[in-house]
Amino acid sequence: MENISEIKDIIASGKAVLGIEFGSTRIKAVLTDENNNPIASGSHEWENHLENGIWTYPMEEIHAGFRSCYKDLKKDVSEKYGVTLKKLAAVGISAMMHGYLVFDKDGKLLVPFRTWRNTITEEAAAKLTKLFNYNIPQRWSIAHLYQAILNKEPHVSKIAFQTTLAGYIHMMLTGEKVMGIGEASGMFPIDTDTKDYDETMVSKFNALLEKEGLKFKLRDILPKVLVAGEAAGKLTAEGAKFMDEDGDLEAGIPVAPCEGDAGTGMVATNSVKVRTANVSAGTSVFAMVVLEKNLSKVYEEIDLVTTPSGDLVGMVHCNNCTSDLNAWVGLFKESLEAYGVTVDMNKLFATLYNKALEGDKDCGGLISFNYFSGEGVTKFDEGRPLFVREQNAGMNLANFMRSNLYASLATLKIGCDIMLKKEGVKVDSITGHGGLFKTKGVGQTILSAALAAPVSVMETAGEGGAWGMAVLANYMISKKNGETLPDYLSSKVFAGMKAETLAASEADVKGFDEYAKKYAEALAVERAAIQAVK
């Protein structure tokens, strides 16, 4: 790592690279040096709104949040290095995938932004899945478009362009209607051979448009697809002013193809190579497995997206992970405080998590359901957090904590077992990142038991998607001829990077399998709870 003087020179000479990611609760910016080391950051907190039954972020908050995040980055640069940020080597934008942003020919937003969180496209998703013989989840952009068509919404006839949040910001910065292939794969199915939208499915959807009397074709309104490393435009004078209200930022900066948060997560964990995987576990949990070949059939439990390079990825996404677990830890905190004990939450989490490792491998007859909300994998539209046990269960703290940790990954296991066991998908490495892995060794061991494979945790996993986007931007400007993204990550970014790898014992794997069997059988109890507890 350079010293303060060297970093100052890197920034002043315009050699630093910037990645910005719009997360669901925070917009984050990470500035890196030429070797992908983070040197400054900025952020802006925000929340989505439920307006007229639609989860959305108002356009003015998108603009203000973006500028606020960049301003916070500039402040960090100024305070650390005494220099004003004016020039950059490259910029990249990332955001939550999917959703619905549509504009007319004059660039006017036709309806408020519909985010990935909305579950209002069930009819469209089911019909498109059947038509394409390809799983189309409700949150995908094409499902939102078709649902609007089925609903006979008047704005549809005026659509001239459809994009995602990342695609919109990219357009505002460059004027280019393009996006990275990973982000595009959450809009419409991708042909991994052509690295473009699947033409057979495009033709089928165009037939639907014609049947509805709509004048546009699908490719007329979707962004152009680019793969990682391709040029995606340059920062215009208008884009520079949009980003930096102070007017200090210079135009002409190369901008990388925008990517989704799934893609930047893969980059941040060095999981873009075929037969690699990563699991992100926090409030929600999802697994991304880079596939050698397509699955043998369509599974509603598995989304098919791509890496930023365009390789096929099987994705299992679950809405619920640590929320219920955290609630129980909060209850233990309250109990201790009732006895007059001052509680250190980090120590409490570590103590309870490690206690779980002392429990019975199958949790001794205790079963937890962490369903704060519905789960697509197990076909629940809503949920009720629930704890149930057998009459002769081993009711103790270790089993209780182990059951809650198992529950945080049980639904993910159901989806992943389809790929790893039923489809025989081969995985050489799995990297875990997110809050579940903060207590050293525990979340890792539980995930390893769930997936019956070794799990690694890297020291950079906490840098997140904004850093992953900066890495993609740096790859675009610094890659050598023919250097693939996996090669670049292995040789330039993660070479010598420390990672801890743990493998669960055979007894742990067997125990989780036994728990998962009882868990699946007890889903009937969860369904009854939803009916009975309103």
Type and span of the H or E element at 118 = none
Q: Is the pLDDT of residue 162 over 60?
A: yes
Q: Is 13 helix (H, G, I), strand (E, B) or coil?
A: coil
Taking alpha carbons only, the member of 470, 452, 450 closest to residue 460 is 470
Percent of the residues in the chain that have a pLDDT greater than 70, as a whole number: 99
What percent of the chain has pLDDT above 90? 89
Residue type, 186: G
Q: What is the CATH number of the domain that holds 453?
A: 3.30.420.40
Cβ partners under 8 Å of residue 108, min gap 6: none
Those residues with Cβ within 8 angstroms of residue 475's Cβ, 6 or more apart along the chain or in another chain: 228, 229, 256, 485, 488
Q: In this structure, what are the phi and psi dihedrals at residue 69, rounded to the nearest 5 degrees?
A: -60, -45
Rounded-to-integer distance, Cα 22 and Cα 505, Å: 39
Question: Is 445 among the domain residues?
Answer: yes
Q: Note whether 205 and 124 are same-domain residues.
A: yes
pLDDT at 463: 61
CB distance 189 to 198 below 8 Å: yes
Q: Give pLDDT, residue 460.
A: 57
Interval 448-494: pLDDT, tens:
999 999 999 987 555 688 999 999 999 999 999 999 999 999 999 99
458: three-class secondary structure by DSSP: strand
pLDDT tier, 496 (very low <50, low <70, confident <90, very high otherwise): confident
Asked, for residue 25, whether it belongs to a domain, the answer is yes
My answer on whether 496 and 527 are in the same domain is: no
DSSP states of 243-300: H-TTS-SPS--BBPPPEEHHHHHHHHTT--STTEEEEEESSSEEEEEE-SS--SS--T
DSSP state of 462: G
Residue 96 has pLDDT above 80, yes or no: yes
- Structural domain includes residue 264: no
Whether 381 and 309 map to the same domain: the answer is no
Of 528, 523, 238, which is closest to residue 368 (Cα–Cα)?
Answer: 523
What pLDDT score was predicted for residue 2? 66
Q: What is the pLDDT of residues 406-456, one digit of tens each?
A: 999 999 999 999 999 999 999 999 999 888 998 999 999 999 999 999 999
Q: Residues 111, 156: contact at Cβ < 8 Å? A: no
- Same domain (yes/no): 179, 118: no
> Residue 53 is encoded by which pair of tokens?
């039954």
User: Would you say residue 263 lies in a domain?
Assistant: no
353 and 338 share one domain: yes
Average pLDDT over residues 161-183: 98
30 within a domain of the structure (yes/no): yes
Phi, psi of 471 (to 5 degrees): -60, -40
Coil, strand, or helix at residue 45?
strand
pLDDT at residue 250 greater than cutoff 60: yes
Is the model's pLDDT at 402 over the cut of 60? yes
Are residues 361 and 238 part of one domain? no
Whole-number mean pLDDT of the chain?
95
Predicted local confidence at residue 282, as pLDDT: 83
Same domain, residue pair 449 and 495 = yes
Quick one: 490 and 348 in the same domain? no
Q: Which residues have CB under 8 Å from 408's CB, separation 6+?
A: 281, 285, 320, 321, 322, 324, 325, 370, 436, 446
How far apart are the C-alpha atoms of 201 and 162, rounded to whole Å? 17
Model confidence pLDDT, tens digit, residues 342-398: 999 999 999 999 999 999 999 999 999 999 888 989 988 889 999 999 999 999 999
Q: Read off the pLDDT band of 112 (50, 70, 90).
A: very high
262 occurs within a structural domain: no
Do residues 487 and 383 both lie within one domain?
Answer: no
Give the model's pLDDT for residue 119: 83
Dist. CA 133–CA 131, nearest whole Å: 6
- Tokens representing 214 are 């709509």
Q: How many domains does the chain have?
A: 4
User: Average pLDDT for residues 272-297, to the nearest whole number?
Assistant: 93
Q: What is the DSSP letter of 361?
A: T
Tokens for 129, please give them.
């899945």
- Locate 462 and state its tokens: 């906490």
Sign of the Cα torsion 205, 210, 214, 219 reads positive
Task: Judge whether 103 lies within some domain.
Answer: yes
Say whether both 236 and 351 belong to one domain.
no
Q: What is the pTM of this model?
A: 0.90
* Rounded-to-integer distance, Cα 528 and Cα 387, Å: 13
Is residue 467, in this structure, part of any structural domain at all?
A: yes
Residues 328, 395, single domain; the answer is yes
pLDDT-based confidence at 6, cuts 50/70/90? very high
User: 297: exposed, middle or buried (C-beta count within 10 Å: 0-12, 13-18, 19+)?
Assistant: exposed
Residue 454, pLDDT score: 94
The span from the CA of 403 to the CA of 393, in Å, is 12
Identify the domain containing residue 128 by its residue range: 98-162+188-221
Residues 426 and 491 in one domain: yes
Residue 280 has φ and ψ, to the nearest 5°, of -100, 120
